[in-house]
Amino acid sequence: MKTKALAFLFCLVVVTGCTTAKDFSSPGIEPIPGSITYGGQPRTKLTKSPIGSSFPHNFIDQYGQQVEETYIIQPDRSLKIAHREIKPIRFGRD
């Protein structure tokens, strides 16, 4: 009985996560030099991409680190940085 209750709760959490609406209210992560939105939103709008879709952007920052950002397209077609990961660039074998 305990196993069935745990399985039910797990399924409930999974279904709730799938049906939750996307939250566009948070401001996102501040852009850094190299970000697409650094210095303001791009002039061209992503008109063919669905609202809420995401895409990656990779670049090398001013400190020589590899930066991986994920952007989400907002309802007004602006971009929001949803995730950023900074990794040092490694040369040769460690």
Residue ranges of alpha helices (H) inside the chain are: 2-19
Q: What is the pLDDT of residue 88?
A: 84
What pTM does this model have?
A: 0.67
CA-to-CA distance for 42 and 31, rounded, in angstroms? 12
Q: What is the DSSP code (8-state) at residue 70?
A: E
CA-to-CA distance for 61 and 13, rounded, in angstroms? 39
Domain ranges across the chain = 35-94
Q: What is the pLDDT of residue 27?
A: 72
Q: What is the pLDDT of residue 19?
A: 41
Q: What is the pLDDT of residue 44?
A: 87
> pLDDT tens digits for the chain (94 residues)?
666 655 555 555 554 444 444 555 677 899 999 999 999 999 888 888 999 999 999 999 999 999 999 999 999 999 999 999 999 877 766 5
